[in-house]
Chain A
Amino acid sequence: MEKIKMSRREAMRHVKFWLFILPAVLGFLCFSAYPLVRSLLLSFTDAPLIPDPDYPAQFIGFENFERIFAIDMTLNFGPALFYTLIFALLHVPIIMAISLGLALILNKDLPCSGFFRVVFYLPALLPAVGMSIMFRWLFTPGSDGFINSWLQSVGVENPPLWLGAGSGWLGLFTILIMSLWGFGSKMIIFLAALKNVPRDLYEAASLDGASPWQQFCRITLPMISPIFFYNLMLTVIAALQLFNESLIVGGTTKQTTFVVLYIYNTAYTGANPRLGYASALAWVLFLVIGVFTVIQFAIKRKVAYYEN
């Protein structure tokens, strides 16, 4: 009797568990699982953005993927992917170094370090649209832009073309510069990690005569390595998915048309928006991001230090 009662109670616990988490489960099914499967299916069709009742989308096999690798690799997608990777390759180490370096400084008992922590985080929270438009104003070539009109006023004859037609590689560097304004969130994460490193480790090390650099390499880095990789992973994924800056500041040259902007253009804009083809592109991007994530997980497993 008692046993049956217990198991009924246990069963009720299962029911209650599922009832409480029902919104998240439904949300996962509707907004993650379904679109994931559906986009894979779409990538094998020629579906347009707006369904045409007269011409239902056709299953075209691997045609989209063949097109990506045979034609688009030299046309648009290849360059978009290439410049996105170059951007990520530059952006990730620079922003990681800045945020870790400043976190190390703020972690010392300096006057007003609380103030600087708060202030450095603010630009990362401001609307990306507003920030991008601001940088567009600063960097617009010609007398319209703030930086170049100032350069001209101090006598620079031909100020650089930061953006737009003819900017070439400089356009990518302009986006790189503005992307650094968001270092605050990464710095806060590093600071949280540094606060958790036991102080007595440093005391013991300095008694043994370890230099600050040795302490950083042998104590700080290993102790924060799990969060370092967490931060790195988020930064890499965000860099590969950069969109707002590419749309608002770039987009007019190959060097500033990043992958997500190209996918957006293919799926939603132009005279012939192609949902099916864009799905295939998005899946290729998914695979690229997946490869990077797996590599980072592998390195993390080998390098990262965990207690216990």
Chain B
Amino acid sequence: MTGPVLAKRSEKLLLHEKKYYVRAAGHVLLLVLITLLLFLPLIALLLMSFKSDNDLLFYNYALFPHEWTFDNYYNVFNLQGGTRLNFFGSIGNTALITVCSLIGTVFTSALCAYGFTRFRVRENPVVFSVLFAGTMIPSQVLQIPMYEVYYTLNWIDTFWPFIVPSFFGGGILNIFLMREFMRGITPSMFEAAEIDGAGELRMFLQLALPLSVPVLVTVGIFTFQGSWNDFYGPLLYISSPENYTLALAVYQFSTNFNSYTGSMSTMTPWNLIAAVNILSMLPIILLYSFGQRYFIEGISLGSVKG
């Protein structure tokens, strides 16, 4: 009796499995199509950066270059005439700002997160909520008076407006992320250290920090990305070309190319712009390919707890 029933059941299962595979294949196909659509503009940009000026003039519409050339990348670093693009200079400026705000953000947000984790005093949650409410204010409201402040301090056209704020807690969202992580450290470890006579600062530096490395990396990676990509800040506060950050340099170069290339041509040198653009995206792509786990974990943790 059991034989035919089992056979029937496995037939049903097979049909079910077949249905599952067909559906899965359909889904993967859809995902592949979306990936292609999503990356087609970036691929077109990459290919554009290998096009010669001749290509630009006659084969503008083609996806692939007729004659492949590295001239655009060479020219990015060796632009003659007009104002130089100063590509190396702007990379240096961006790197300086990024490193400084990385140090400031990671260190001070860890410090504050430690305070919020370790000391469950009465005012702790209230202070945290007040600080958190600050993030609800649109940045446009805050940036206008900050311009006034930076102007008074003579900080316009310097890097201080990007570096100094990061040393003041590095943003409550980062503190929040770190607090969530540090809450997972067993309290008995701190108690043991306390009995051994360790001071609070020592416990922070030698116990909490080493144990929180994953979240420090997450915050660091997001800070790097935010700082490297920041455009609105430099647009407001930086005016002289030698102080341009990469994002600002790319913007100025792409919108006022004639003053850079010194040419009077009305043709936009999109091949050159594409090369500049690709170069400015590369560090983020590299960062992401090595640290994508931290990016994804960071954004997931922030939302699930939030």
A244 and B231 form a contact (CB under 8 A): yes
Check A134 against B277 for contact (C-beta < 8 Å): yes
Interchain CB contact under 8 A, B250 and A133: yes
- Determine the residue in chain B with the shortest Cβ distance to A98: B34
Assess the A248–B303 pair: CB atoms within 8 A. Answer: no
Q: Which chain B positions have C-beta within 8 A of A128?
A: 229, 231
Contact A21 B303 (CB under 8 A): no
Which among A33, A39, A237, A264 has the highest number of chain B CB atoms within 10 Å? A39
Interface magnitude class on chain B: 35 or more
Complex: how many Å from CA A293 to CA B30? 34
CA distance A152 to B172 in the complex (A): 51
Known: A120-B35, A121-B295. A127 touches B137 (CB 8 A): no
Whether B3 sits at the interface, judged by CB under 8 Å, is no
A144 at the interface (CB under 8 A from B): yes
**Min CB gap A174→B, angstroms:** 13
A24 touches B299 (CB 8 A): no
Is there a chain B Cβ closer than 8 Å to A196's Cβ? Answer: yes
The smallest C-beta distance from A59 to any residue of chain B, in angstroms, reads 16
Known interface pairs A17-B124, A108-B27; A137-B144 also in contact (CB < 8 Å): no
Q: If A23-B169, A118-B292, A133-B277 touch, does A149 touch B61 (CB 8 Å cutoff)?
A: yes
Contact A127 to B38, CB < 8 A, known contacts A36-B137, A188-B300: no
- Residue contact A189 to B303, C-beta cutoff 8 Å: yes
CA distance A106 to B32 in the complex (A): 12
Q: Of residues B60, B175, B267, which shows the largest number of chain A Cβ atoms within 10 Å of its Cβ?
A: B60
Query: Which A residues touch B48, using CB under 8 A?
Result: 137, 146
B137 proximity list for chain A (CB < 8 A)? 32, 36, 286
Question: Is the contact region of chain B dominated by helix, strand, or loop, or is it mixed?
Answer: helix
Q: Mark A243-272, 1 if CB is under 8 A from B, else 0.
A: 110001000000000001001100110000
Establish whether residues A17 and B121, one from each chain, have CB atoms under 8 Å apart when the complex forms.
yes
B212 touches A (CB below 8 Å): no
B247 in the interface (beta carbon within 8 A): yes
Bound-state CA distance A188–B119 (Å) is 33
Contact assessment for A263 and B270 in the assembled complex, using a CB-CB cutoff below 8 Å: no
Judge if A42 is at the interface, Cβ distance under 8 Å. yes
Q: Is the CB of B303 within 8 A of A138?
A: no
- Residues of B within 8 Å of A108, CB to CB, are 24, 27
User: Chain B residues near A130 (CB, 8 Å)?
Assistant: 247, 250, 277, 280-281
A58 smallest CB distance to B (angstroms): 16
Given A31-B146, A38-B148, A49-B147, output 6 extra A-B contacts at Cβ < 8 Å: A24-B169, A110-B31, A119-B35, A137-B274, A138-B41, A191-B300
